Amino acid sequence: MPNIIHLVLAHMDGLPDGNDGLGLFIVPKFLVNADGSLGSRNDVKAVSVEHKLGIHGSPTCVMVYGEQGGATGYLVGEAGKGLRCMFTMMNNARISVGLQGVALAERSYQRALAYARDRIQGFKLGDKSGKRVSIIEHADVRRMLLTMKTTTEASRALAYYAGSMIDRMRNEKDPAQAQLAAARVDLLTPLVKAWSTDLALETASLGIQVHGGMGFIEETGAAQYYRDARILPIYEGTNGIQSNDLVFRKVLRDNGAEARRFEDEMRAFLKNFAGKPSDDLDVIAAALDKAIGALAETTNWMISNAKSNTDAIAASAVPYLRIFSTVAGGYMLARMAYAAHEALLTDGANADYYNAKLMTARFFAEALLPQIYGLMTPVMGGHKTVMQISNEQF
């Protein structure tokens, strides 16, 4: 590679301390002459490779700038607007990291599923024949596998939905519609990044659990997914930062307008379920409708307490994002369930595939979506103890 550029956030002389004093700079490995040819080596170098937990194929380096008199950098955008420029890249990267989480979760699920089908251990409950069975026959293994499958499908669909909003934002001819799509992208970005990566870590952990003791043996490959997934909730702003972004910059900034618009979209979609002769759709619709109401209640609490209890809002941000994401994931699965139900009316050849979509959506509605009600209490309780305990009492 003839040249390498580093994008560096740095404080600028004469500007205030903090974020308002940052500039974004291009710092090249080699300076570029006026004719475009490469010139002398810039005063920047990598001094060590960081040793990481997992992700050995993606090394990062400790960089040193200006040891020999000063590195040359070129300002990108306006002085003092460096963080805003960086966020242009970071928001795109956040969606990409969310998709990376989906990919790791999917691979972990595939590995665990293959192992569960092959591993012969124990007897099926209630079977007196004495026949030993694959562990996929055991109820708890099935619960773990179905959790892995369902949450991965939900997080993938949410990431794709956010991607469709990005396409609409960029290609919509009507400026008003493009603006609405941009607002939806802003709302969904922290959900996709944080929820997908949290689920990736949880799914990889379940993958090890399905393997049992073999999950700790490197030859199975299950442990690698866990190590690789662990960095994702840290990448591109920790998931705590994503939660604060959702609450303070997305929900509170417009007094919940875009969040309510998304809730209205979900409610409007559920009207499609009316009159459909399907027990699965009835269960899914009832659970999602109740969950949307719970999300709205929690959002209203956050808005009502934003000025009077800011610390409580910040301490509640992570479980609030989990509530929002889980409801959004339920909406994605409900859309897939509805499409599967309609497809079954005309496509009998793929009935197993469509019925699986119905079953995963129903499992999410019955087993995973209700988890939000346990999160509402700590959110609206304000996590008061978080700020009341003194530093010395930790």
Average pLDDT over residues 147-166: 97
- Give SS3 for 58: coil
- Give me the residue spans of the domains in the chain: 5-76, 82-237, 241-393
- Is the full-model pTM beyond 0.85? yes
The answer to whether residues 249 and 214 touch, using CB atoms and an 8 Å cutoff, is no
At 50, list the tokens: 């960081």
Residues catalogued as catalytic: 236
In words, the CATH class of domain 82-237 is: mainly alpha
Mean of pLDDT values over 62-79: 91
Residues 135 and 119: beta-carbon distance below 8 Å:
yes
Average pLDDT, rounded, for the chain: 94
What confidence tens digit (pLDDT) does each residue in 217-239 have?
A: 999 999 999 999 999 999 989 99
Q: Which fold has domain 5-76?
A: Butyryl-CoA Dehydrogenase, subunit A; domain 2 (2.40.110)
Percent of the chain residues topping a pLDDT of 90: 80
pLDDT per residue over 249-305, tens digit each? 999 999 999 999 999 999 999 999 998 889 999 999 999 999 999 999 999 999 999
Place of tokens 């050849």: 349
How far is CA 339 from each of CA 117, 312, 321, 353, rounded to the nearest angstrom?
Answer: 29, 40, 27, 12
Largest CA distance in the chain: 84
Choice between 277 and 340, residue whose per-residue pLDDT is larger: 340
pLDDT at 386 over 80: yes
